């Protein structure tokens, strides 16, 4: 089992809790995570008081297991991973300082992915940890493999894959985060359209094309350990099953550097 966490980037979530400073949001996330770790390692009764959160449990009935939080079987806890969106990222630095698993989103340009690892490695060094191995790094990408490059692009452009990007583009625009999607930070916002995101954020084409795209991404980033294929609604199950089978059986096996 893995334990994953991430801090919201949705503007309305911040407004709901009256959070006006993103740094405060980060501090709240870290404090919450630390309390979860305390719950896993501390027998009841307990009372944890933080700057943002307070957890109290004094009414314990051991014979009925009342008041006891279930603890994971893995000790001291499951491997912990965190999603990373912004670059540079304080969240990535904290993950590096603690040795957590960095998981880079599928929604940002490769130049931002590179900044993710830079922040993660800086956090590890500043905490006095050994230089982290890139094998721990998970990179998310949408992948679709078709019979031809044109067919793969046409399907992605006209399917739930592109629909999801356009939906999430609205969140990024509302949070003044479109820069994260841009290959060039100077490009106009209106250029971040459906075609741009499908062509620049996804791995699309034939087996040969996707193999080369994946190798190019790997080389550009300097290496990573795991490709996480982001999924969408299966608006054409046959096409998606064929794509996944090609990825697992024809692309990954000929890329020995991606282990």
Domain boundary among 17, 46, 78: 78
User: Residues 43, 166: one domain?
Assistant: no
pLDDT number for residue 16: 86
Q: Record the pTM.
A: 0.92
For the stretch 182-188, contacts whose Cβ atoms lie closer than 8 Å and that sit 24 or more positions apart, written own/partner, are: 182/109, 183/109, 183/110, 183/111
pLDDT number for residue 117: 98
- At 27-38, the pLDDT tens digits run 999 999 999 999
- At 54-108, the pLDDT tens digits run 999 888 998 888 888 889 999 999 999 999 999 888 999 999 999 999 999 999 9
CATH number reported for the structural domain that contains residue 102 in this entry = 3.20.20.30
Question: How far are the Cα atoms of 101, 217, 243, 245 from residue 240, in angstroms, in the given order?
Answer: 28, 22, 5, 9
Structural domain for 109, as ranges: 81-258
User: Residues 112, 25: one domain?
Assistant: no
The number of domains in the chain is 2
Six-digit token pair at 163?
A: 């629909």
Residue 84's beta-bridge partner residues?
104
Is 259's pLDDT higher than 90?
A: no
Is 257's pLDDT higher than 90?
A: no
User: Residues 61, 110: one domain?
Assistant: no
Residue 61's beta-bridge partner residues?
66
User: Residues 64, 101: one domain?
Assistant: no
Distance CA 160, CA 175 (A): 23
- Token pair 């309305």 is found at 12
């Amino acid at each position: 089992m893995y334990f994953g966490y991430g801090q919201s980037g949705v503007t309305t979530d911040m407004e709901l809790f009256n959070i006006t400073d993103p740094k405060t949001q980060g501090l709240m996330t870290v404090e919450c995570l630390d309390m979860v770790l305390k719950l896993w390692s501390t027998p009841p009764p307990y009372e944890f008081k933080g700057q943002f959160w307070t957890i109290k449990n004094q009414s314990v009935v051991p014979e009925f297991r009342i008041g006891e939080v279930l603890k994971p079987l893995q000790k001291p806890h499951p491997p912990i991973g965190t999603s990373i969106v912004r670059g540079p990222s304080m969240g990535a630095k904290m993950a590096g300082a603690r040795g957590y698993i960095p998981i880079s989103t599928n929604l940002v340009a490769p130049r931002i992915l590179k900044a993710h690892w830079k922040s993660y490695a800086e956090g590890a060094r500043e905490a006095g940890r050994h230089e982290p191995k890139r094998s721990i790094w998970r990179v998310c990408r949408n992948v679709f493999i078709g019979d031809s490059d044109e067919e793969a692009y046409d399907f992605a452009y006209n399917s739930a894959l592109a629909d999801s990007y356009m939906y999430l583009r609205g969140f990024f625009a509302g949070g003044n985060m479109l820069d994260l999607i841009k290959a060039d930070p100077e490009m106009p916002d209106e250029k971040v359209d459906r075609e741009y995101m499908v062509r620049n954020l996804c791995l699309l084409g034939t087996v040969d094309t996707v193999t080369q795209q994946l190798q190019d991404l790997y080389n550009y980033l300097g290496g990573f350990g795991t490709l996480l294929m982001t999924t969408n609604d299966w608006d054409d199950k046959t096409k998606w099953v064929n794509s996944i089978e090609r990825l697992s059986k024809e692309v990954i096996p000929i890329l020995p550097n991606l282990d």
